[in-house]
Structure 1
Amino acid sequence: MSTLLRPPSVNPSQSAIENTLELIQLADIDPNLFTNRRPLWHPVGARGIYGGAAIAQTLSAAQKTVEPEFTVHSMHCYFVLAGNSEIPIIYHVERVRSGKSFATRTVQARQRGKVIFTTTISFVRQNSAGEKVLQHAVEMPDVPGPIEDKDDLDNGADAGPFQSQILGIVNHDSPHPHTKKTRQWIKARGTISPAGGHEAHLAALAYMSDSYFIGTVARVHKLWRYAATRKSHTKSSIDEDVLKKLLAMDDEDLKQIKSLNNHDLERIRKLKKGKEQGKPTAEIGMMVSLDHTIYFHDPREFRADEWMLSEIESPWSGDGRGLVFQKLFTRDGKLIATCVQEGVVRLRQDTDAAKSKL
């Protein structure tokens, strides 16, 4: 059973992402307990549920325990265990501090008594800094604007709760991965309801902030991992059984697989050629997020259902881990969030005995 109570039908007055992230407060048990109202998405090939769901729902739970004049400005998260999409999640909010200008909450996501995700979230009272404030912000890069009807995540019947348009990689041919940047336009699908308030937009941004994030490390190194669907980019590791079957096929058979685009075909051909020449190409064997931090800037001055530009770079990788930074801008150029994530990024080893485990 993936939820404690039978999931209700989709609420047409809410956007898809609001329906996805809806919580139930277990007030009769404890006013600080919440649970997911609908099943959570488990990307194909991933170790567990999409990490953005845990990030967003812990934020939603915490937002329900602070006064209306307080708004989130930062959250620091740790992925502890892979979440199981077949088991309800219980979110426990601890009201650590409620001060005049700042409030602090910690939230644990638990399944079967075990913590799978934990975060500490800080809220600030609106306009508590006074009339005189220091201000500066990095400028948004000059990029082509989004195309309204284009959605790289739309695979037909099972469209997700947000849209994306992938842009090219800056400095793609550079031999230095740390000089490259990946970019995409993202927004929540449909229109977020007025009833959701600014809290719904913040939760939606938190959900989308995990899209294409740690995977940037693989992309700036021009490494590849097979994913069974285009939507499984968020946290999937290579499906070795499927990859072995693909490598055994000839070119004509590969062309008949509709889920493979031209980029996938070229990558598979490269892997096959390397293996035939005795020079196997490096492949990602494991990619899992460890932590995730979001700093919200002007948190009530944006809409998550309007196009936002995400720019991601990776300043470092080593020792089986990688680090990524993300900046999120409104379409008109305002910096609205800065995110940081570290994750496990391990290459496939030559022998099973050499493979490490978490």
Structure 2
Amino acid sequence: MEQIKKDFEKYFYLEQKGEDLFTSTDFWKFGGSRGIFGGQIVSQTLAAAILTVDPSYHIHSLHSYFLLAGKYDKLIDFHVERTRDGRSFASRIVSAKQEGKIIFKMICSFQKEEEFLTEHQFEMPKVYPEDHPIKMKMKDRNTFLNYIHQEILFYNQAKMILKPAAPIDPEAFESFENINQKLTVDGKPRIRPPHTFNWVKIDEDLSKKPSQINTVFLACISDFCLTVTNLLPYTTGYNNQKIDRPMGVSLDHSIWFHKRFRIDDWVLFEVESPIMAKSRGFLNGKFYSKDGTHVATITQENLSRTKVFDDDLNFKIKKIHLTLDENSRIFFNNTLTRSEASTKGLEPNTTDIELFNKIKSAKPNEKLPIENFPTNKHLKSLEQSHDSSQKLPKIECIYLGKHIIRTWYTSPYPEEYSSSKLLYICEYCLKYMKSMYTFKRHYEKCGIRHPPGDEIYRDGKISIFEVDGRSSKVYCQNLCLLGKMFLDTKTLYYDVEPFLFYVLCEFDGIGYHISGYFSKEKRSVNGYNLSCIAVLPTCQRKGYGKLLIDFSYLLSKKEGVYGTPEKPLSDLGLLSYRSYWKTKISLCLNGEPISINEISKETAISPDDIISTLQSIDALFFNETKNEFEIKFLADNTKPKNDNNFIQINPKLLRWTPLVT
């Protein structure tokens, strides 16, 4: 049982917290799903039940219901109820809870294996073997198969491989050759049959693993390709209408395990949907081993919803009026009013012209005292220093945590380290080393498991630490050197004392793994709330960049001031900030009159950034007749786009007070 427990923790991230209590904090990201992939929840729940049953019992059936969508950033607790332990059968009821609510319920039955006088089964469908090339002549079929392969990319963590299969005798399956082809018969689109075949297996050697590992892997795979099959008749168009990609949600899921099998060898997965009614599709699935043995059967009912669009899309224009207080100091870092900042009608007078001509005709040594400028010797040394820094050998890769990451730019590590092609960095203290031997010795002795600062924010597995550049100087210098490998414009490496660093980490029960950071001055004369920001390549496309930007503005709101990033911004930085500003500003626009200052107070975004954002999208117009601004938005733009990667900061979870100096 101990080996099974270790395997479940390794492959399915399931940890035991009590006799009948298990938990998981890590989940696979599946396509565009708004919640955790159902197959992973099924497999984790089954694994929790197996760990409470004597190994002599083997799972033979499970029946389950999906009640709520699982959230990626919250842990799931699995509570097991021991309902029966008999001589031949045992049963368990498992409740998966997230934030105190039951999101999934399963009842499963186990049996000690018995033999009957005889056995029977229907013959396995005749399909081409997994290594047989499938000729795809039709454009739409290619599109469908590409979609399948795109989805399967998200199964890398599950170590799953999928290959579409085709029947040897297409006539045995009605219209199989047209399954992904747009046809019109008598002027109407032809329906594609909801019937698919796929070869599947796990890319892992399970020959020395207990049989329970195979059943849990199959439970995970059993939730794949179901919605796709169910909606095949409706994805090319119906009644001359364009249908957006439908949404499918699993309602209930059942599996019967008939015989033992190896999921690390190819298994045929046949799925068909005999009926779709009242937005609910019913599916049957069968698993066959390569020798034709029917090893498992699944059924599922899922809910399918979609939107139908006409050819012509009409958008309404929405006008929002903003009132401007002429006495508001919103220009030049909130120091000048509109009238004071206006240069309209200003022309140089006689005195201005005389002063300009006097300076223009002055001799070179009369411009400024020469001691205020660096000498030629200094300039030459600076140029040589700059050139030498550019000629530093580039460290090609770094080993950080469990990842080997290719670097983007040169970082001024000490010369003896810059000559290494691969640099080993401790993900906890950021100490850098040249050899794996030294790195392993350090890792065994390093007692640090989080950044050397205060944890000021935690939400699920995400934590943010505040690190003072003065009290943790070496760590912050190492952090800047690491960040320079992925930032072209960063120039701060060693002078870290005037800065605070906010380090974003992912927590997995072992330690806090660095994902990104941003820095800001302890006291900024210009009101900058962010000086530098970086997210490691292994953690990108998760929304961590916007999360850090959002967090910097949360700190500004806590301080009671407007915030703005240090200028000038890089091209990518400007795009990120414009996207963030547009999202936050749109949340404030509800059709009621609102001033720039009110938007600033609500978002902590500086008035200058608000105005520049509105101008960049051609949404801000000044009505000279009414002496007020007008915002003209498409109705669709007044609401922020759904961004699955935009993780919202929860202000209630912040534990922080502004720095007092």
- Normalising by structure 2, report the TM-score: 0.39
What SS does structure 2 have at the residue aligned with 1:215? helix
Corresponding residue for 1:147?
Answer: 131
Code of the residue aligned with 1:162 in structure 2: it is: M
What is the CA–CA distance in structure 2 between the aligned matches of 1:288 and 1:156, rounded to whole Å? 18
Contact map agreement 1:328 1:338 (CA 8 A) in 2 = yes
Q: 2:303 aligns with which of 305, 319, 344?
A: 344
Corresponding residue for 2:243?
Answer: 282
Contact map agreement 1:214 1:342 (CA 8 A) in 2 = no
Q: 2:160 aligns with which of 159, 162, 166?
A: 162
Code of the residue aligned with 1:324 in structure 2: it is: L
What is the CA–CA distance in structure 2 between the aligned matches of 1:155 and 1:118, rounded to whole Å? 28
Aligned length: 274
Correspondences of 1:1-358 after superposition (within 5 Å) = 19-27=10-18, 31-36=19-24, 39-127=26-114, 132-147=116-131, 152=149, 155=153, 160-168=158-166, 170=173, 171-172=175-176, 173=178, 180-192=194-206, 194=208, 196-219=209-232, 221-223=233-235, 279-298=240-259, 301-349=260-308
Contact map agreement 2:253 2:301 (CA 8 A) in 1 = yes
What SS does structure 1 have at the residue aligned with 2:264? coil
What is the CA–CA distance in structure 1 between the aligned matches of 2:154 and 2:63, rounded to whole Å? 35
Corresponding residue for 1:252?
Answer: none
What SS does structure 2 have at the residue aligned with 1:205? helix
Contact map agreement 2:280 2:303 (CA 8 A) in 1 = yes
Larger radius of gyration: 2
Contact map agreement 2:255 2:299 (CA 8 A) in 1 = yes
What is the CA–CA distance in structure 1 between the aligned matches of 2:153 and 2:191, rounded to whole Å? 34
| Cα distance change of structure 1 residues 155 and 97 upon mapping to structure 2, 3 Å threshold | closer
Residues 288-342 of structure 1 deviation map (CA, whole Å, 9 limit, x = unaligned): 11111000001xx211111000001001001111011000000111000000010
Contact map agreement 2:163 2:198 (CA 8 A) in 1 = yes
Code of the residue aligned with 1:223 in structure 2: it is: T
Supply the RMSD in Å over aligned alpha carbons. Answer: 3.0
Alignment gaps of 5+ in structure 2? 1-5, 135-147, 168-172, 180-189, 311-661
What displacement does 1:100 show?
1.1
* Aligned residues with identical type, % of pairs: 34
Alignment gaps of 5+ in structure 1? 1-13, 225-270, 352-358
What displacement does 1:176 show?
6.2
What displacement does 1:217 show?
1.0
- Normalising by structure 1, report the TM-score: 0.69
Code of the residue aligned with 1:217 in structure 2: it is: N
What displacement does 1:204 show?
0.5
Contact map agreement 2:28 2:154 (CA 8 A) in 1 = no
Q: Which has the higher contact order (CA 8 A, sep 6+)?
A: 1
What displacement does 1:45 show?
1.9
| Cα distance change of structure 1 residues 281 and 350 upon mapping to structure 2, 3 Å threshold | closer
| Cα distance change of structure 1 residues 146 and 81 upon mapping to structure 2, 3 Å threshold | same
What is the CA–CA distance in structure 1 between the aligned matches of 2:64 and 2:44, rounded to whole Å? 12
Residues 241-266 of structure 1 deviation map (CA, whole Å, 9 limit, x = unaligned): xxxxxxxxxxxxxxxxxxxxxxxxxx
- Segments of 4+ moved more than 6 angstroms: 148-151
| Cα distance change of structure 1 residues 186 and 113 upon mapping to structure 2, 3 Å threshold | same
Contact map agreement 2:267 2:290 (CA 8 A) in 1 = yes
Q: Which has the larger helix fraction?
A: 2
What displacement does 1:155 show?
4.7
Contact map agreement 1:308 1:330 (CA 8 A) in 2 = yes
What displacement does 1:126 show?
1.7
Residues 187-243 of structure 1 deviation map (CA, whole Å, 9 limit, x = unaligned): 01121262x401111100101111111221112x0516xxxxxxxxxxxxxxxxxxx
